[in-house]
Amino acid sequence: MPDRVPRPEPEAPPRWRRRKDARPQEIVAAAMDVFAERGFAAAKLEEVAVRAGVSKGTLYLYFPSKDELFKAVIRAAILPNLEQAEALAAAVAGPCFPVLERLLRMVAHLVATTRAATIPRLVIAEAGNFPDLAAFYHREVIRRGFGVLASLLQRGIASGEFRPVEVDPTVRLIVAPLLMSAVWRTSFDGLDGEPPLDVPALVEAHIGNLRRVLLRDVGEGVP
């Protein structure tokens, strides 16, 4: 009996390929999805692996632990946007309020349309269990974001464009509605047949309020 070839598909594609450079991003993208849907604790690495098209062991070739994978997700989702915001705020010389408007609308757009909106919720939820993650987020995201707004406010106050408000509370009051929108969209939206949160309308109302709060000449001729 001649030796029968044991593999029936000589033209079958290989069961897997080596793709050392593409893997990390794909894994992070898959992890972003799963963490967003389930939260950190309830997310299963097996599911991350399946969505990334690899096996669970492969995750551990690129990330030493679930925690580190989580941090990588956060970094990947937040840092590019933050750098964009810093560039936007730094590169302007004229009046400050229009810059503030553009920043708010940009963040609102992110909140309303991208997966990055789930990041604050994830960090908030896990801050107690990952103090170093909370510290990282506080240092790399919150502090920098606050810094952008604070310097903008200070410039506006110095030039006389803005009333002399207290900077720190005002920064927090500017940010709060955006943060709340991000959290809302990823926690409560679409419950009980409620209409979804209208983020643009909320932001426009907020900008209108800020105009009355920050600027010296309030246009009182509104009907």
Residues that bind DNA (CB under 7 A): 14-20, 23, 42-46, 53-58, 60-61, 65-67
Q: Does 175 bind its own copies (CB under 8 A)?
A: yes
Closest to DNA by CB, 9 or 217: 9
Interaction partner, residue 15 (its own copies, DNA, none; CB < 5-8 Å by kind)? DNA
Interaction partner, residue 212 (DNA, its own copies, none; CB < 5-8 Å by kind)? its own copies
Q: How far is the CB of 131 from DNA (least distance, A)?
A: 16
Q: How far is the CB of 207 from its own copies (least distance, A)?
A: 11
DSSP one-letter string for the chain: -----S-S-TTPPPS----TTTHHHHHHHHHHHHHHHH-TTT--HHHHHHHHTS-HHHHHHH-SSHHHHHHHHHHHHHHHHHHHHHHHHHT--S-SHHHHHHHHHHHHHHHHH-GGGHHHHHHHHHTTT-HHHHHHHIIIIIHHHHHHHHHHHHHHHHTTSB----HHHHHHHHHHHHHHHHHHHTTTTTGGGPPPP-HHHHHHHHHHHHHHHHBSS--TT--
**Residues near its own copies (CB under 8 A), total:** 48
Interaction partner, residue 60 (its own copies, DNA, none; CB < 5-8 Å by kind)? DNA
